[in-house]
Amino acid sequence: MWPRSLAGQMAVLIALALLVAQMVNLALALRDRAEFRLAQATRPVAIRVADALDREAQGLRTIPRDRGRIRRSDVAGIPATLPRMPDIAAELRNQLREQGVEVGRIDTGARRWTAMDDAVVARNSSRSARQRRQQGRPDQALLIAIEQPGHGWLSVIVPWSDNGGMRLFWRLFAQTLILYGVVLLPVLWIVRRISRPLRDLTAAAQRFGRGGDAPAAVAVRGPADIASLVQSFNALQLRVTAMLDEKDRMLGAIGHDLRTPLAALRVRVESVEDDTDRTRMAETIAEMNRTLDDILSLARLGRPSEALTEVDLAALVDAVVEDFRDLGQDVGFEEAERLRMRLRPSLIRRAIRNLIENAVKYGGAAEVRLVPGTTMVRIEVADRGPGIPAARLTDVFEAFTRLETSRNRDTGGIGLGLALARTIVREAGGDVRLANRDGGGLCATIELPR
């Protein structure tokens, strides 16, 4: 799985780059070693054969049939069961051609090195026994048969080792581990030094706007460009906080200025003689007050004045349900066990109340359930009303959005209930979801993190 952190991604990319570089290096080294081994095995043989043929042509020495490194025979004499090495045969032909020797067929074969081969090498080698022991015993013997047209075959036995590739592989593997230690450790330290202030900055950005106390400034550390970014974020945080404070003061003034004339109107309404007109006017003023409360509450969310409190969520939901029952509403609640959570009780109570109001208004009744989970807690408010078209399930969360097109509050409200509920729950780190029920109706679910 691809790591999500900057340090992990940098480490993986550098490790992959080093691995690819070492693999390319291994491939080139193996190719060079193969060419060197071919030349090491064939060049001495070509020189030795050319020298032996030249001595024989001059009558100085005849190539023997029963001893020596180079022997003459009537047949190739290499068993057919031995593995052939055509690359050595081709390279040897080129080496002989460079020595001015043209030959016919060249046959090769490899077998295990024997004590008899040691004896042959000892008799025909100019090196001392100590030098041969230091060099080590070869793994295999390479049998070479060279056809000399009209004169039979020349046979040569040379030492051959086939494990050099593995030694080279393990040597490069050890080099790779050393490179990882030399390169990756400093890189990880540098990346960690960069990522730590970035993590602090991310955490501060996530906390900002969730309410509570004034956000603290992020510690300025790390490289110059990261430190400059942190300083800019701190300055931005201060400016936004100042703007929000100014907004709160402005909203308070607006609320005070609007409530004063509404209170005066409420007093004047009492002097209206007609009971029907007086009742309608009082209801209109009360509706204006509720609308003003909803608008101000929605505007102030994100900077709530209520502190986080540990409460029993089951008792809180039950109290909201009881308020509706006292008003004669058909609201049911499945009893749930005590569930201690830290939240802002007044705001959560208002969110639950808004969902139950919608369920009662459109479905005539509401069914409330509290479903605790491992990481989340769900508060489900279900009804058997008309539901919401699937294409509009997300639209109703927008402020002042109503599915009912009339402006009558009794039939459609003003479109702030769901918007206010979702804003409250999201400020608490959760969310509100809507889903149509099988058989008709709607289920509104508040999800809160435990």
Pick the CATH number of 308-449 from 3.40.50.300, 3.40.50.970, 3.60.21.10, 3.30.565.10: 3.30.565.10
Identify the CA nearest to 420 among candidates 250, 300, 323: 300
Residues 241 and 247: their CA atoms lie apart, in Å, by 10
Amino acid at 100: G
Identify the CA nearest to 141 among candidates 160, 125, 154: 160
Q: Which two structure tokens, joined as six digits, stand for 411? A: 């039939």
Residue 389: other Cβ atoms inside 10 A: 11
101, 49 Cβ separation under 8 angstroms: yes
Q: Show Cβ contacts of residue 140 under 8 Å, excluding neighbours closer than 6 positions.
A: 110, 111, 112, 113, 159, 160, 161, 162
Residues 197 and 233: their CA atoms lie apart, in Å, by 12
DSSP 100: T
Identify the CA nearest to 144 among candidates 118, 94, 107: 107
pTM equals 0.48
Q: Residue 138's pLDDT is what?
A: 64
Runs of H (alpha helix) within 58-140 = 86-98, 115-124, 129-135
Q: Which two structure tokens, joined as six digits, stand for 137? A: 């015993």
Q: Which two structure tokens, joined as six digits, stand for 385? A: 């009303």
Q: Residue 367's pLDDT is what?
A: 93
Cα 21–chain centre separation: 24
Parallel, antiparallel or unpaired: strands 365-372 and 330-333: parallel
Residues 50 and 56: their CA atoms lie apart, in Å, by 10
Torsion region of 50: left, alpha or beta (phi above 0 gives left; psi -120 to 50 gives alpha): alpha
Element (H, E) at 441: none
Q: Residue 443's pLDDT is what?
A: 92
DSSP 148-164: ETTTEEEEEEEEE---H
Q: Residue 413's pLDDT is what?
A: 55
Beta bridge partners of 52: none
Q: Percentages helix, strand, coil for the chain, rounded to the nearest 5?
A: 55, 15, 30
Q: Residue 131's pLDDT is what?
A: 44
DSSP 269-329: HTT---HHHHHHHHHHHHHHHHHHHHHHHHHHTTS-SSPPEEEEHHHHHHHHHHHHHHTT-
Residue written as token pair 């609201």: 331
Distances 332 to 140, 276, 315, 319 between C-alpha atoms, Å: 90, 35, 14, 12
Backbone phi, psi, residue 328, to 5°: 85, 15
Q: What is the 3-state secondary structure (H, E, C) of 14-39?
A: HHHHHHHHHHHHHHHHHHHHHHHHHH
Domain ranges of the chain: 6-166, 308-449
Q: How many residues does the chain have?
A: 450
Residues 174 and 185: their CA atoms lie apart, in Å, by 16
CA 404, 407, 409, 413 dihedral sign is positive
Distances 306 to 125, 212, 291 between C-alpha atoms, Å: 98, 8, 21
Q: Show Cβ contacts of residue 90 under 8 Å, excluding neighbours closer than 6 positions.
A: none
Per-residue pLDDT of the chain (450 residues; tens, 9 = 90+): 566 666 667 777 877 887 788 788 877 877 887 788 788 778 888 888 888 888 888 877 778 776 667 888 888 888 888 888 888 888 888 888 888 888 888 888 888 777 666 555 555 554 444 444 444 556 678 888 888 888 888 888 887 766 555 676 777 778 778 877 887 788 778 777 777 888 888 888 877 766 555 667 888 887 888 888 889 988 998 888 888 777 777 777 777 777 778 788 877 888 877 878 778 888 788 777 777 776 676 666 655 566 788 999 999 999 999 989 988 899 999 888 889 999 888 888 888 998 998 899 888 899 999 999 888 999 999 998 888 888 888 888 876 666 654 444 454 555 677 888 888 888 888 999 999 988 888 999 999 998
Q: Residue 162's pLDDT is what?
A: 61
Element (H, E) at 66: none
